[in-house]
Amino acid sequence: MKNKKINILLTGGAGYIGSVLAQHLLEKNYNVFVIDNLTTGHVSLVPKKCIFFQGDFSSKRILKEVFKNRIDIIVHMAAYIEVEESIKKKRKYMDNNYKKFKIFLKFTNKYCKNIIFASTASVYKSKNKLIKENSIIDPINPYAESKLQAENFLISFAEKKINYVILRFFNVAGAHKKLKSGLVTNKPTHLIKRLCVFAVKKKKNFSIFGNSYNTPDGTAIRDYIHVSDLCNIILLTIPKILKKRVSKIFNCGYGKGFSVKEVFEKFNKLSDFKLKPIIKKARKGDVKILVSNSNKIKKFLNWKPQFNNLSLILKSSIRWEKKIKQENFK
Ligand X SMILES: NC(=O)c1ccc[n+]([C@@H]2O[C@H](COP(=O)([O-])OP(=O)(O)OC[C@H]3O[C@@H](n4cnc5c(N)ncnc54)[C@H](O)[C@@H]3O)[C@@H](O)[C@H]2O)c1
Positive or negative torsion for Cα 303, 10, 173, 45? positive
Q: Which CB atom, from 118 or from 196, has the smaller least distance to ligand X?
A: 118
For ligand X, give the closer residue by CB, 188 or 210: 188
18 makes contact with ligand X (CB under 6 A): yes
Sign of CA dihedral 291, 307, 318, 230: negative
- Total residues in contact with ligand X, by rule CB under 6 A: 28
| Cβ atoms of residues 151 and 166 within 8 Å | yes
Binding-site string for ligand X from residue 27 to residue 66, where x marks contact by CB under 6 A and - marks none: --------xxxxxxx--------------xx---------
Whether 143 is catalytic is: yes
Q: What CA–CA distance (Å, rounded) separates 158 from 178? A: 38
Say whether residue 150 binds ligand X (CB under 6 A): no
Closer by beta carbon to ligand X, 100 or else 113: 100
Report CA dihedral (37, 123, 168, 187) to the nearest 10 degrees.
40
Contact region with ligand X (CB under 6 A), list: 166-174, 209-217, 240-248, 315-323: 166-174
- Minimum CB separation of residue 204 from ligand X in Å reads 26
Catalytic residue among 16, 30, 98, 143: 143
For the CB of residue 178, give the shortest distance to ligand X in the complex, in Å. 19
Would you count residue 12 as binding ligand X (CB under 6 A)?
yes
Cβ–Cβ under 8 Å, residues 139 and 123: yes
Site for ligand X in 287-306 (CB under 6 A): none
The continuous run of DSSP H or E covering 104 comes out as helix 100-108
- Piece of the chain touching ligand X by CB under 6 A; list 16-24, 105-113, 131-139, 206-214: 16-24
Does 285 help bind ligand X (rule: CB under 6 A)?
A: no
**H helix or E strand, kind and range, residue 116:** strand 114-120
Asked whether position 139 contacts ligand X by CB under 6 A, the answer is no
DSSP string, 270-328: H-SSPPEEEEEPPPTT--SEE-B--HHHHHHHT---S---HHHHHHHHHHHHHHHHHTT
Is residue 247 packed enough to be buried (19+ CB in 10 Å), middle (13-18) or exposed (0-12)?
A: middle
Cα dihedral 152/153/158/161 (nearest 10): -160
Q: Is 313 in the site for ligand X (CB under 6 A)?
A: no
Q: Does 314 contact ligand X by CB under 6 A?
A: no
The CA distance from 10 to 116, in Å, is 10
Per-residue x/- track, 71-90, ligand X (CB under 6 A):
------xxxxx---------
Q: Which residues bind ligand X (CB under 6 A)?
A: 12, 14-18, 35-41, 56-57, 77-81, 96, 100, 118, 120, 147, 169, 171-172
- Which residues participate in catalysis according to the annotation? 143
